[in-house]
Amino acid sequence: MASYEEKLQQEAELWGSVDEANAATVPPDWRAHRHLRHNVISHTRDIDALLAQIQPGMKTLELGCASGWLTLAMAQRGADATGLDISEKSLQIARDYYEKVATETEGTTTYQRADLNRIELAPNSYDVIVTKGTLHHLVEMEHVIEQIYQALKPGGLFWINDSVGNSTLLTSLFAGGLMFILPTTVSYREKLGGLLKFGMRAPQRIRASMEAEGLSPFEGAGREHDWLKLVQERFIIEHQTRKPAVTGYLAHQISLPDAIALPLLRVIKVIDVALVKLRVLHSTSLVVYARKPV
């Protein structure tokens, strides 16, 4: 079995390679990323709402910044922005791009390598701390949440976009049915073969795919810890949004041009949101605005 340090290195290498491949086609800049299909469907409105909270002169921190586009976006709003990540390759992509746009960026950015499970942050240092898709990878959740709490200034904002808990059987069946019907990156022949092979276990396979099980050494490690409960115990929850259950997942899978895929996904999203509100489907994806008490 790999040691913690070995798994950490594997994690860094994997996400560094992913960011390298992405940066080859799309620059690590929110002005470009906001038009990507999965962002248009799932994230653009949320990120824009977050960025509207950023004011010139604020000191901000992103945990798990990857190639740095969100850290940079906060700097473009005038913040003194810092991004932390485990992958030196990802951080170098962020630094190299920032050098190209520094003169047109109102604020500043700094990118640093850090093991987030072991971070030690200076008290009362940040106006805003953000984390997107990072918490569910962490194994020292209580330590991380406590560090975030004490690092924020009184009244500071902790913004989270992440998953908590597991998908239900009905949600997996709904996602699986749509995956089977719609043209995706998996051929219909492979889908039929998978259905015949896995039978009653097919929904479990869909759930594993939705939760990216096994994608990286620490993928889903944080699901054993209820980060939402830890945040609720320390912070004032200003706003909490439960995202659609399956639409974001489908946005990555459908193999249609955007001109067709986006209208189709928007229709699915309306149905998805309604079924989540009716508690027919269960969404594990949340956006949370948490405020440190004054």
Domain spans in the chain, listed from the N-terminal domain onward: 4-165+215-248+283-291
Residue 92: the pLDDT is 97
Burial class, 112, CB count within 10 angstroms (exposed 0-12 / middle 13-18 / buried 19+): exposed
3-state secondary structure of 63: strand
Residue 209: the pLDDT is 86
Instruction: List the single range of 104-118, 180-194, 262-276 with lowest mean pLDDT.
Output: 180-194
Residue 194: the pLDDT is 83
3-state secondary structure of 9: helix
pTM for this one? 0.94
Superfamily per CATH, domain 4-165+215-248+283-291: Vaccinia Virus protein VP39 (3.40.50.150)
Sheet holding 152-163, edge to edge: 108-113, 80-85, 59-63, 126-132, 152-163, 285-291, 236-242
Give yes or no for residue 203 having a pLDDT over 90: no
Nearest to 239 by CA among 289, 293, 292, 291: 289
- Longest CA span, the chain: 59
The dihedral sign for the CA sequence 125, 127, 133, 135? positive
Whether the Cβ atoms of residue 78 and residue 71 lie closer than 8 Å to each other: no
Give yes or no for residue 277 having a pLDDT over 80: yes
Give yes or no for residue 181 having a pLDDT over 80: yes
Q: How far is CA 287 from CA 23, 49, 99, 138, in A?
A: 26, 11, 31, 18
- Distance of alpha carbon 156 from alpha carbon 55, whole angstroms: 13
Residues in the chain, total: 294
* pLDDT, tens digit (0-9, with 9 covering 90-100), for 222-236: 888 899 999 999 999
The one-letter amino acid code at 188 reads Y
Per-residue pLDDT band at 198 (split at 50, 70, 90): confident
> 240 - beta bridge partners?
288
Residue 85: the pLDDT is 98
Whether the Cβ atoms of residue 290 and residue 165 lie closer than 8 Å to each other: no
- Average pLDDT, stretch 241-253? 95
Q: Which residue has the higher pLDDT, 74 or 197?
A: 74
Nearest to 82 by CA among 90, 96, 72: 72
- Distance of alpha carbon 152 from alpha carbon 114, whole angstroms: 18
Burial class, 24, CB count within 10 angstroms (exposed 0-12 / middle 13-18 / buried 19+): exposed
Give yes or no for residue 200 having a pLDDT over 80: no
- Average pLDDT, stretch 245-249? 96
Per-residue pLDDT band at 242 (split at 50, 70, 90): very high
% of the chain beyond a pLDDT of 70: 100
Q: Within 62-201, where are the H helices?
A: 69-76, 88-101, 141-151, 169-181, 188-198
Residue 212: the pLDDT is 84
**Distance from the Cα of residue 93 to its chain's centroid:** 18
Give yes or no for residue 243 having a pLDDT over 90: yes
Residue 210: the pLDDT is 87
Instruction: List the single range of 201-210, 228-237, 272-281 with lowest mean pLDDT.
Output: 201-210
Mean pLDDT of the chain: 95
Give yes or no for residue 175 having a pLDDT over 80: yes
Instruction: List the single range of 100-104, 196-200, 255-259 with lowest mean pLDDT.
Output: 196-200
- Distance of alpha carbon 10 from alpha carbon 17, whole angstroms: 11
